[in-house]
Structure 1
C-alpha cells in the first residue's frame, strides 16, 4: 500500500498541474494524535504569486475534502519553495548542481547525520556532496531533509 506521502502526491500532483504549476514537493507532518500540517510547495518558471497559492489551496482543499486521505484535523499551507528551497527528488538535486546545500540524514552515514557543502551531482541513487574537503556519496533513501543554502 502506498504511503500517505505518496498518496497525497498522486492526488495533488494533477490538481497543481491543472492550475499551471509544478508540484515541487510536499511535507506531511502529523502533530499529535488528531492534528497534522500538510505543506504543499509549488513552482513555475516565471515564479509563484499569491494568486497561485490561493488557487492551489482552494482546489487542493476541495479534492482533499472529497478523497479524505488524512484522518483528523490538519492545516493546509501552500507556498513557493523560496530561496532555501527544499529538495524532494533526485532530479531536483541534479538541477541544483553547483549550489550549496544542507542535508540531514535519517541515520548516521560515515559517523554523522548533518552535512553542508557543494552539490556536485547525482550518481545512480546517490547525491554527490563536497563537504569539509571530502566528497560524499549520500544514499538518496537516507536523506530526511535537504535545502539549498541561499546566496546573498
Structure 2
C-alpha cells in the first residue's frame, strides 16, 4: 500500500486523537483480498481500553470512508501497541518508569545492548539501572529499540 494512503490515515487518526488524551504510535496496512488497517494508539499516563479503541476505530473509519481511501472493503483494527512492540515515541517512556527494559542503542558506530530497569526519563534521554551500582544514560538519538520485559508478579 502506498505511503500516501498511510500518511493520510495517520493524519486522520491524529485529528481524531487530538480530542483525547491518546496519541498515534503507528499505522500499518497489511495486504490481502481485504486490506487490514492497523492503528496503534497509546496514552502518556495510561493505556487505551477496548471501548476507547472501538470509539476511535469508528471515528477513523468514518473519516476514511469520507475520503474514499479504499475502493472496496477493508478492516480497521485500533489497539494499544502491546508489550511485544518497541517503544517508538518518547511519550511512551514515563509511564514505563520502574519496569524492566531491553535496549538496543548505537554508540560510536557500534551496536550495543543493555538490560535493566528504566530508572528515569529526561528531555535528552533515559537512564537504565543495570544493577545497584551501575546505571547507563542513553540519549534518545542513540536509541535503536527499547522493549519492555513483561513481569508477571
Q: Name the structure 1 match of 2:80.
A: 80
Partner of 1:59: 59
After superposition, the Cα gap between the structure-2 partners of 1:121 and 1:22, relative to the gap in structure 1 and judged at 3 Å, is same
Q: Give the Å deviation of 1:37.
A: 5.5
Gaps spanning 5+ residues in structure 1: where?
none
Q: Deviations over 1:104-152 (max 9, x none)?
A: 34xx336334432211212332222233774322221343432322211
Higher Cα radius of gyration = 2
Partner of 2:98: 98
TM-score normalised over the length of structure 2: 0.61
In 2, the alpha carbon distance for the partners of 1:6 and 1:144 equals: 23
The TM-score, its normalising length taken from structure 1, stands at 0.61
Contact 2:27–2:37 under 8 Å retained in 1:
yes
Note the alpha carbon deviations across 1:72-120, whole angstroms, 9 max, x for none.
Answer: xx86431134455753333432332211112334xx3363344322112
In structure 2, list runs of 5 or more residues that go unmatched. Answer: none
Q: 1:134 to 1:16 in 2, by over 3 A?
A: same
